[in-house]
């Protein structure tokens, strides 16, 4: 599904060049469960952003479902992002003015799905994620775990092919973190590819395929043979 070939990403800071990614090649199939670990600054988030089309590689080729997505313009990329990718962030990133249900609904609104089709979808997801009683609450009235559940429900509402989670447990205590991870794994079990960036070796170790990044390169890929 995802095929990265010789991806480079350099940032210019002042007059210095920072190599966030160097010659990264990676192939991820539908429904895979993959964890990305590595020291801070090793390029994990940058990799995820490029996969999620939030960032463009400086060099290299990115194909998504056989399509060269690096060649697409911003508008086309946002359409791909909207339909194929769900994001889960460390800091939840819920819109504070909107209720839990409205946050879940937001991708549907942006996609222009008519309201009559939106509400059953949202209701079903909110129920599935055990948020029914919290549906009308605003983010600041929710616990961290609940917020992340809202964020995951939001990531799922467009039925993406892959969920990109950047330290989804980084802001939660251990128990809640585990619950959230189990939830993500359950979704993966239903066929959604899960790419999980984490610092926590215990959590990262649960993935069937593990990638270790150092200094912008993939140092170790437990599933590399399949690439």
Partner 1 sequence: MNASDTARFAWRSLWGYRGRTLLVILATSIGVAAVVVLTSLGEGARRYVRNQFAALGTNFIVVIPGRAETAGGGMGVLSGRTARDLTLDDALALLRTRRVESVIPVNLVSGEIWWKGRRRDVPVIGSTAGLMPIWNITMASGRFLPVEDPRRATPVCVIGAKIRSELFGAQSPLGEWVRIADRRFRVIGVLAPKGQFLGVDVDELALIPVTSAQVTFNLPSLLRVIVKTRAAEDVHRVADEIRRVIRSRHNGEEDITVFTEDSLSTAFDKILVALTLAVGAIASISLAVAGILIMNVMLIAVSQRTSEIGLLKALGAAPQQIRLMFLAEAAILSGVGGVTGLVLGSAGSFVIRQIYPSLPAYAPPWASAAGLGIAVGMGIVFTLVPAQRAARLDASAALSRR
Applying CB under 6 A, which residues contact ligand ATP? 11, 13, 18, 20, 38, 40-46
147, 154, 209, 212: residue in contact with partner 1 (rule CB under 8 A): 154
- For 137, other C-beta atoms within 10 Å of its C-beta total 15
Are 222 and 32 a contacting pair, CB within 8 Å? Answer: no
What does the CA dihedral 183, 186, 187, 191 come to, rounded to 10 degrees?
160
Q: Which is nearer to partner 1, 138 or 206 (CB)?
A: 138
Please give the residue whose beta carbon sits closest to ligand ATP in the complex. 45
Give burial (CB, 10 Å; 0-12/13-18/19+) of 58: middle
The structure tokens listed for 38 are: 């590595």
59, 109, 220, 224: residue in contact with partner 1 (rule CB under 8 A): 109
Residue 83: strand, helix, or coil = helix
Query: At its nearest, how many Å lie between partner 1 and the CB of residue 222?
Result: 26
Query: At its nearest, how many Å lie between partner 1 and the CB of residue 157?
Result: 9
Query: At its nearest, how many Å lie between partner 1 and the CB of residue 139?
Result: 12
Query: At its nearest, how many Å lie between partner 1 and the CB of residue 107?
Result: 5
45 binds Mg ion (CB under 5 A): yes
Residues 6+ apart with CB under 8 A from 53: 69, 77, 78, 80, 81, 85
Considering only residues 20 to 79 of the shown chain, the ones binding partner 1 according to CB under 8 A are 45-46, 49, 52, 54-55, 74-75, 78-79
According to DSSP, residue 115 is labeled H
Cα 177 to Cα 199: distance, rounded to the nearest angstrom: 12
Task: Give me the phi and psi of 28, to 5 degrees please.
Answer: -125, 130
The structure tokens listed for 207 are: 């993935």
- Nearest 5°: CA angle at 77, between 72 and 99? 170
Report the relative pairing of strands 33-37 and 67-68 from DSSP bridges: unpaired
132 binds partner 1 (CB under 8 A): no
96 binds, among ligand ATP, Mg ion, partner 1, none (CB under 5 to 8 A by kind): partner 1
101, 158, 163, 194: residue in contact with partner 1 (rule CB under 8 A): 158
188 binds partner 1 (CB under 8 A): no
Applying CB under 5 A, the span of 39-47, 95-103, 113-121, 129-137 interacting with Mg ion comes to: 39-47
The residues binding partner 1 (CB under 8 A) are 45-46, 49, 52, 54-55, 74-75, 78-79, 81-83, 87, 89, 91, 93, 95-98, 106-107, 109-112, 114-115, 154, 158
């Amino acid at each position: 599904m995802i095929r990265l070939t010789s991806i480079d990403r350099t940032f210019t800071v002042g007059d210095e060049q920072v190599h966030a990614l160097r010659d990264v090649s990676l192939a991820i199939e539908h429904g895979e469960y993959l964890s990305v670990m590595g020291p801070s600054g090793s390029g994990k988030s940058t990799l995820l952003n490029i996969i999620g089309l939030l960032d463009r590689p400086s060099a290299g080729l990115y194909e998504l479902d056989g399509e060269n997505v690096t060649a697409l313009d911003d508008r086309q990329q946002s359409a791909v992002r909207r339909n194929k990718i769900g994001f889960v962030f460390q800091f939840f990133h819920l819109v504070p003015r909107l209720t839990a249900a409205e946050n879940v609904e937001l991708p549907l609104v942006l996609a222009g799905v008519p309201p009559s089709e939106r509400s059953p979808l949202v209701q079903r997801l909110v129920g599935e994620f055990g948020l029914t009683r919290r549906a009308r609450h605003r983010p600041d009235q929710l616990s961290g775990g609940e917020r992340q559940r809202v964020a995951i429900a939001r990531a799922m509402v467009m039925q993406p092919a892959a969920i990109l989670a950047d330290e989804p447990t980084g802001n939660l205590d251990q128990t809640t973190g585990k619950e959230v991870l189990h939830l993500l794994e359950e979704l993966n079990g239903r066929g959604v590819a899960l790419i999980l960036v984490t610092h926590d070796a215990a959590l990262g170790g649960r993935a069937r395929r593990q990638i270790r990044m150092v200094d912008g390169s993939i140092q170790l890929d437990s599933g590399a043979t399949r690439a």
